[in-house]
Every structure is written in C-alpha cells, then in structure tokens.
C-alpha cells in the first residue's frame, strides 16, 4: 500500500508539471480546432453524393476522425524519448539503486501527463465537437465502456513506447525506430481513417493486430455506442490480451537489456 502511494505521488507530480506548462495547451487546442475544420470540409465533400460510405454516415465518420485527434494527444506518452534519454545520459542508474519498479515509475509519470491532457485538451475538444461542429453523439453501452477501452488503449500505447525506449540500451539513437513505430501505428490503427475504409481482406488482418486496439476500438465505441455486449466484449477482450502481452514482453525485454548496461558499466 505504501508503495502504491509512492507511485500515486509520482502521478500527481507529473500532473502538476503539466499544469506549469499549461500555456502550450492553448496552441494545441487551437491546432485541433483547425484540424477539425479541415477534416469537416474534407469529409463533407467526400460525402457530397452519398449518405453512407462503407456503412458509416458522415456524422459517424467525422466524429471518429475528429475525436481521433484528441485521443491521439491523450495516448501520446513520449516515454520512448524519455527512457532513451535517461539511458543515454546515465540517469537510469539512479533507479537501479532505489526500491522502484522502473516500468511502473514510467507508467505513472505518463499517466500524470495523460490526465493533464484529458482535462486540458481532450475534454475541450469534445465540447467543440458538440457545440461548434454540432456532432451528434448517440447514447448506448459503448459510451459506458469507452473509459475502460481508453485505459486499455493507453496501456498498449505506453508499452509500445516503453519498448522502443529500451532499445536505447543497444543504440545511441532511437529516432528511426520511434518514427517507424509512429507511422505503423498511425496507419494501421485507424487513427487517420476508420478501418472500414480498408479492403475487407486487410480489415480482417488489422482487427487482430494490437495497433487497432489503440484507436479503432475506443473510437468505434463512441461512433456506434448502441451495439450490444456481443460486439463490445470481444473488442475489449482483444484489447486486454494485447495490453497484457505487450506489458509482459516489454518487461522481459527490460530484464535482458539491463544486463547490457551493467556489462558496459564495467
């Protein structure tokens, strides 16, 4: 219990750091507003001659894509860069001499930043969607499960970033790996366009990969929330499975990579 309080203190400290730099959130929200305006007119022109495309209405598609920009900011941890920096500068050695789990420490630091983004960016973006762009959000089971799905999506995103950061044990720069990871996740997760717009054969493959569990699953729960447990439960099951798998894999990778640091340190 005392250790949990320590991690919660880390979370609170990370949240307060975000409060200090709150001026930057204004420009992020402004950028989101511009992005949503461009997205709105782009998809409006695409839907000019059709009520639905690939089974989605304009309202559903725009909600999916616009909300995706806010979720993208929320799930962006930057932990890959932080971990690689601490490895490169030798600060990682500090955590080896303290009774702290480095992966959990990094997770709670990221959670603090995510909570700051949630209150300062994601929620204002949702309000703009409703009151500025007049997007209709339906009620249903999906809205109740959305927070659960979002937490699982955050864990998967964190585990990917953390894993890439650990490559810093073997390389002086993770820039190439991090950019490649961003491109793969952005394209294959449905962050840019709904997966429904992919060919059916590719959809079947993407729906079992971990990338779609980061964006497609939570976004679909808001886009089409009036579906039943028979639809949402398997989606949550896939998310939970990938969250556990990526957490375990990154933990195993750390246990092996840390040996390299000890050998290099003499």
CA distance 256 to 105: 18
The predicted-structure confidence for 111-155, as pLDDT tens digits, reads as follows: 988 888 888 778 888 888 888 888 888 889 999 999 999 999 999
- Six-digit token string for 215: 């964006």
CA distance 198 to 204: 10
The predicted-structure confidence for 10-58, as pLDDT tens digits, reads as follows: 777 777 766 666 666 677 778 888 888 999 999 999 999 888 888 899 9
Residue 192 is predicted with a pLDDT of 83
Res 83 pLDDT > 80: yes
Q: Is there a contact between 104 and 7 (Cβ–Cβ < 8 Å)?
A: yes
Q: Please list, residue by residue across 129-142, b when 16 or more beta carbons sit within 10 angstroms of its beta carbon and e when fewer do.
A: beeebebeeeebbb
Res 103 pLDDT > 50: yes
Residue 55 is predicted with a pLDDT of 86
pTM exceeds cut of 0.85: yes
Which of 5-19, 96-110, 175-189, 196-210 is the least confident region? 5-19
Q: Which domain holds residue 224?
A: 2-264
Residue 116 is predicted with a pLDDT of 84
The predicted-structure confidence for 221-234, as pLDDT tens digits, reads as follows: 999 999 999 999 99
At 264, the pLDDT band (50, 70, 90 cuts) reads very low
Q: Average pLDDT in the 189-197 region? A: 88
Residue 42 is predicted with a pLDDT of 92
Res 198 pLDDT > 80: yes
Residue 265 is predicted with a pLDDT of 46
- Six-digit token string for 233: 């439960």
Res 70 pLDDT > 90: no
Residue 263 is predicted with a pLDDT of 41
Please tell me the total count of domains within the chain: 1
Res 173 pLDDT > 60: yes
Q: Is there a contact between 232 and 145 (Cβ–Cβ < 8 Å)?
A: yes
**Bridge partners, 57 (sequence order):** 52
The predicted-structure confidence for 154-168, as pLDDT tens digits, reads as follows: 999 999 999 999 999
Res 236 pLDDT > 80: yes
DSSP secondary structure letters along the chain = -HHHHHHHHHHHHHHHHHHHTTHHHHHHHHHHHHHHHHHHHHHHHHTTT-SEETTEEHHHHHHHHHHHHHHHHHH---HHHHHHHHHHHTTHHHHHTTT--HHHHHHHHHHHHHHHHIIIIIHHHHHHHHHTS------SHHHHHHHHHHHHHHHHHHHHHHHHHHGGGT-S--HHHHHHHHHHHHHHTTSSS-GGGS-HHHHHHHTTSTTTTTTHHHHHHHHSTT--HHHHHHHHHHHHHHHHHHHHHHHHHHHHHHHHHHHHT-
CA distance 78 to 162: 9
């Amino acid at each position: 219990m005392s250790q949990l309080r320590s991690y919660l203190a880390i979370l609170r400290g990370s949240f307060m750091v975000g409060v200090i730099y709150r001026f930057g959130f204004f420009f992020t929200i402004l950028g989101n507003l511009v992005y949503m305006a461009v997205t709105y007119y782009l998809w409006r022109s695409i839907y000019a001659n059709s009520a639905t495309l690939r089974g989605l209405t304009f309202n559903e598609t725009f909600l999916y894509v616009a909300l995706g920009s806010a979720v993208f900011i929320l799930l962006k941890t930057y932990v890959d860069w932080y971990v690689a920096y601490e490895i490169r500068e030798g600060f990682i050695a500090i955590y080896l001499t303290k009774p702290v789990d480095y992966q959990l420490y990094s997770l709670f630091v990221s959670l603090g930043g995510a909570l700051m983004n949630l209150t300062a960016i994601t929620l204002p973006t949702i309000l703009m969607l409703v009151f500025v762009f007049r997007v209709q959000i339906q009620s249903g089971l999906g809205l109740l499960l959305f927070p659960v799905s979002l937490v699982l999506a955050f864990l998967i995103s964190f585990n990917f970033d953390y894993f890439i950061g650990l490559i810093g044990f073997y390389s002086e720069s993770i820039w190439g790996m991090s950019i490649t990871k961003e491109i793969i996740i952005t394209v294959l997760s449905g962050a840019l366009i709904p997966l429904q717009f992919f060919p059916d054969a590719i959809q079947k493959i993407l729906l079992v990969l971990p990338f779609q569990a980061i964006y497609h699953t939570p976004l679909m729960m808001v886009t089409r929330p009036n579906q039943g447990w028979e639809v949402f439960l398997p989606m949550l099951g896939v998310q939970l499975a990938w969250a556990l798998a990526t957490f375990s894999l990154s933990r195993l990778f750390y246990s092996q990579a840390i040996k390299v640091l000890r050998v290099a340190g003499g």
